[in-house]
Every structure is written in structure tokens, then in C-alpha cells.
Amino acid sequence: MVYVQSPGQQETDEKFGRLWFASLARFHKVRNSHTWDFDNDHVIEFLRSKLSEKMPTWKRLKIVIRSILPSTKGMFLVFD
């Protein structure tokens, strides 16, 4: 099965990635997010806070998916 991305989907994914990365950095009170090297524990703690805020599962899954996809612009990056 081949995944074909619609023309505007990559741009939408990048915007979503930037939005959640900024939210993740704010949650952890990071002053300079451009040099911040976050890890799995940071994302898990953030997602648990969203669970306690009763964020829908589909939104939390979208954060997870975006956090593990490769990025070309320094948004959510692949974890080691």
C-alpha cells in the first residue's frame, strides 16, 4: 500500500508540528526552544497532562504520530 499525501497535507502537518512543539516547550518552561533537546519522557509527561485535561484520544494520537515522524524544519524529531 502506498501512502499518497495530498498537496496541502505536508504544510498542514508542519503547522501542526510547530504548534505542538511550541505547546510542549511552554509546558516544560523552556526559554530557548531552538536549542532544546527534548526526549520521550518530556513528550509522555506532556501527553499525560493532556489526558488529565480530558483531551480527546485522536488529538493525543496526532501529537504522538507527529512526534515520531521525521521533520525537515526542526519541529518534532525522531527519537533515538
In sign, the C-alpha dihedral spanning 72, 74, 76, 78 is positive
Q: How confident is the model at residue 6 (pLDDT cuts 50, 70, 90)?
A: low
Residue-level pLDDT at 72: 39
Inform me whether the pLDDT recorded for 24 exceeds 50. yes
Q: Determine if residue 56 is left, alpha or beta; phi over 0 gives left, psi from -120 to 50 gives alpha, anything else beta.
A: beta
Q: What is the pTM of this model?
A: 0.66
Distance of CA 13 to the CA centre of its chain: 10
Instruction: Spell out the residues 6+ positions from residue 19 whose beta carbon is closer than 8 angstroms to its own.
Output: none
Q: Which of 2-16, 28-42, 45-59 has the highest mean pLDDT?
A: 45-59
